[in-house]
Amino acid sequence: MADVEGGKADLIVRNGRILDPAAGLDFIGDVAVRGSRVVQTGQKLDLSAKTEFDATGCLVTAGLIDCHIHGYQYSTPLGINIDEACLSRGVTTVVDAGSSGASTFLGLKKFIADRSHTRLLAFLHIASHGLAAAGCSGGASGGESESLHVVDIDDCVRCIEENRDVLVGVKVRLSKEVTNKGQHEAEVFRRALEASSRAQVPLMTHHSSSSIPVQRSNSEDLGCPGSLRPGDIYTHTYHGFPSSIIDPSSQAVWSDVWEARRRGVLFDVGHGQGSFSWPVAELAAKEGFWPDIISTDLHTGNFKGPAYDLPTVMTKFLAIGMPLEDVVRATTCTPAKAIGRAHDIGSLAIGHVADITALKLEDCDVALEDCHGQQRRVKRNLYPVSVWRAGKQFHTIKSFPWHSALKETPNQ
C-alpha cells in the first residue's frame, strides 16, 4: 500500500476479490489507479476517483496474459484480430507464437503491435518467413521448415536483438509434417536451441507427431522436452497425438517430462484447434501435472470453438480440479515472468501497469468440447465483466458463443 497524493485517483475498482498470486494478495477490497499505473490496493480505500467501478461479486486479477496466440491478421492464414478476440475477453497482453520470422516480423510490429489496443509481444519463428505460407497452417502439404535454407540462426538472433521491445523468445514447430517428412527436424531443433541461447531468450516448442522422442533412451540424445533448458516453454502439453506427454502403455506422464519440470522447463496449454484432449488432461491431472501457463493458441480455426477464448480454457482446467489461484497464476504472473515482463505486468502490485481484469465465476451446467469432439460437463464458468488496459476501460463480451450453443444440452 502507498499513499496517494491528495487522496485522489483516476480509477478505483471497488469491492472485488483481489486475487494476485505474484503479490500474495487474496482479499475483498479495492484497486486504485492513477494514469496508467496501480497506486494503491487495500480494503475500503479512503480515496475519491474520477471513475469508480463496483466489482462486487467479481474476481479482480491483473490483466490476463495469453502466452500463445496467432495475431498476424491478413498476412497469415491463422491471424485473428486481437482486440476483438482477446481484449474483449479480458486479455490485456498476448504473445504471438511464431506467426512471423526474421523476414516478416516488421509487418507484425507495424501493422498489428503498433496499431492494437491489446499489448502484443511475440516469439520469433526460427524459419525466416514464419507461418506465412499456406502449407504450414492448412490447405497444402508441407510446412515452414521444409528447407533448411530458411532456418537461419544469424538472422533470427539479429532480428531479436534489434526488436527486444516486442520479441521475447524463439518459436519452433517440431513435427514430421513441417520438416520435410522429419528429415530436417533434428537440425531445425538444434538451430532453434542455438538461436534462443545466443539471443538469451526462451524457446517455445510445438511438439506433436514428431521424430524427436518425448522419452529418451539416453540422456545425451536429443529429446523434447529432454533437451529444453530452464525457462524454455513446451506448448500443446495436453495434445492427444503421437509425441504425447502420456506414456500409452502405463497411462502415466513420461519420466522425462517430470524431469524437465524439475529442471525448470515450463509447460503451456496451447489449446488450439487440435492440441487439447480431455483424456490426456485428466490423466495428467491425476498426477498433479498442472500447466505452468494456460494459453489458447487462438487463431482463425478455433476462436469459434473449440478454444473460444482464454476464460473458456481457464474454465476447462477448473473443471478438472486445478485450484483457482493456480489458474490465475498461470494466466498472469507465470507467463509475465516467462517472457521477461514480470516487472511491469502480471500483477496488481503498486507501480505496475494498470492492466486489470474483472471476472465472474458462476455456477453452470454446460458441455464443453475438446479438440476431438469429446465433451465434458462443467459446473463453474469464468467470463469477463470488465477490462482495463493501462488504466483505460474497454468493452468486454459477456456472453460467449458456446453459452447459447450448449447451455441447452441435456444433463448426462
Note the pLDDT tens digit of each residue in 128-163: 999 987 566 555 678 899 999 999 999 999 999 999
Res 225: pLDDT = 98
Cis peptide before 306 (omega within 30 of 0): yes
323 — pLDDT class (breaks 50, 70, 90): very high
Domain with CATH 2.30.40.10 in the chain: 5-61+350-366+379-406
What top-level class would CATH report for the domain 5-61+350-366+379-406? mainly beta
Where do we find the cell 529442471? 263
Residues shown for the chain: 412
- DSSP character string of 194-239: HHHHHHT--EEEEESS-SS-SS-SSTTS--TTTT--TT-EEE-TT-
CATH number for the 64-338 domain, one of 3.90.1150.10, 3.20.20.140, 3.30.390.30, 1.10.357.10? Answer: 3.20.20.140
The answer to whether residue 359 scores a pLDDT higher than 50 is yes
Strand residue runs (E) in 47-165: 48-54, 59-62, 64-69, 91-97, 119-125
Res 310: pLDDT = 97
DSSP three-state, residue 66: strand
| Mean pLDDT value across residues 82-100 | 97
| Mean pLDDT value across residues 177-193 | 94
Helix ranges (DSSP H) in 254-380: 255-263, 278-286, 310-319, 324-329, 333-338
Q: What is the residue-averaged pLDDT of the chain?
A: 93
The answer to whether residue 2 scores a pLDDT higher than 60 is no
The answer to whether residue 400 scores a pLDDT higher than 70 is no
Q: Could you tell me how many helices (H) and strands (E) the chain has, helices first?
A: 10, 17
The answer to whether residue 398 scores a pLDDT higher than 90 is no
Res 1: pLDDT = 43
Res 309: pLDDT = 96
> In Å, how far are 145, 176, 193, 263 from 215, measured between CA atoms?
24, 17, 18, 15
The answer to whether residue 382 scores a pLDDT higher than 70 is yes
Write out pLDDT tens, residues 303-319. Answer: 999 999 999 999 999 99
| Mean pLDDT value across residues 15-29 | 98
Write out pLDDT tens, residues 245-282. Answer: 999 999 999 999 999 999 999 999 999 999 999 999 99
| Mean pLDDT value across residues 83-108 | 97
- Cα separation, 358 vs 2, whole angstroms: 22
Q: Which three cell numbers stand for residue 78?
A: 491463422
Domain with CATH 3.20.20.140 in the chain: 64-338
Cis peptide before 225 (omega within 30 of 0): yes
The answer to whether residue 408 scores a pLDDT higher than 50 is no
Res 410: pLDDT = 34
- Cα separation, 92 vs 246, whole angstroms: 33
Long-range contacts of 374-381 (CB under 8 A, 24+ apart): 374/277, 374/278, 374/279, 375/278, 375/409, 376/278, 376/316, 376/319, 376/320, 377/411, 377/412, 378/315, 378/316, 378/318, 378/319, 379/319, 380/315, 380/318, 380/319, 381/315
Distance from the first to the final alpha carbon of the chain: 49
What's the one-letter identity of residue 62? A
Where do we find the cell 514447430? 173
- Of 266 and 409, more confident: 266
Is 40 in contact with 337 (CB distance < 8 Å)? no
**In the chain, % of residues over pLDDT 70:** 93
DSSP three-state, residue 265: coil
What's the one-letter identity of residue 155? D
| Mean pLDDT value across residues 348-359 | 98
The answer to whether residue 16 scores a pLDDT higher than 80 is yes
| 160-198 CB burial, b ≥16 within 10 A, e <16 | beebeebbbbbbbbbbbbbbbebebbeebbebbbbbbee
